[in-house]
Amino acid sequence: MREIVFDTETTGLDFEHDRVIEIGGIELWNHIPTGKSFHVYIRPVGRRVDPEAFDVHGLSDEFLADKPAFPEIADDFAAFFTGARLVAHNATFDVRFLNAELARLGLPSIPPDMVVDTLAMARRKFPMAPATLDALCSRFQIDTSRREKHGALLDSELLADVYIELIGGRQAALGLDMADERATSDGDAGLVQLKPRPRPLAPRLSPEEAARHLAFVRTLGEDALWLRVLAPVAVVEAAE
């Protein structure tokens, strides 16, 4: 199952008149991060950034002046988001804004049954407890030290961690640490492809444990599949 954990930033709070100015999304496959993401800044045609909104995300009219308008990124947005289940925190806010942008172009809206709201999930799981993204990051001990202001891509990364915790814990994530990955931009589409891990993880077995395992595998017979995997180990051991 493909899911996109996403967030938006806007010029203000009125989805009928304010505009989306940033979209960030992280792709999950069966709840595991794939390393693919979407990120774009958008010029809000005919609308200026509200001062209170600027205090939240820090995106100014001057910064956005040379960015593409929503019609210019609509195809790339649709290519990344269409067909996936969409996960957002206080999803009603983000989906209303995106649907308003899509409606201006005469495009289909996002179906409600394709949206998961992590705010509602958190309130069901932790009644009466704070359910903001910051509060949930604190509850799950997710590092937010990089977050000085709200940003759609960084908030999506944090929310992906939170979502994985809400559905059963970090064992499903296999290590979603975007800070340790190096991203390269894929043209102007806003797509980001993460590079492979620069070096393998250190082994978690001690030499003694590895030796005991090899000794056990040798009792399974010469045709044991594990012997093919451990053959290099056996060669090193023989050389020693």
Per-residue pLDDT tens over the stretch 174-232: 444 444 443 444 444 444 455 566 666 666 777 888 788 878 878 877 777 776 666 65
Q: How far apart (Å, rounded) are the C-alpha atoms in residues 143 and 134?
A: 10
What CATH class has 2-194? Answer: alpha beta
Outline which parts of the chain fall under CATH 3.30.420.10: 2-194
Q: How far apart (Å, rounded) are the C-alpha atoms in residues 7 and 90?
A: 10
Residue 183's nearest CA partner among 24, 13, 15, 20 is 24
pLDDT at 186: 43
Active-site residue, selected from the candidate residues 31, 57, 150, 213: 150
Residue 45's nearest CA partner among 84, 79, 71 is 71
pLDDT tens, residue by residue, 8-61 = 999 999 999 999 999 999 999 999 999 999 999 999 999 999 999 999 999 999
Count of other CB atoms within 10 angstroms of residue 174 = 10
Active site residue 213: no
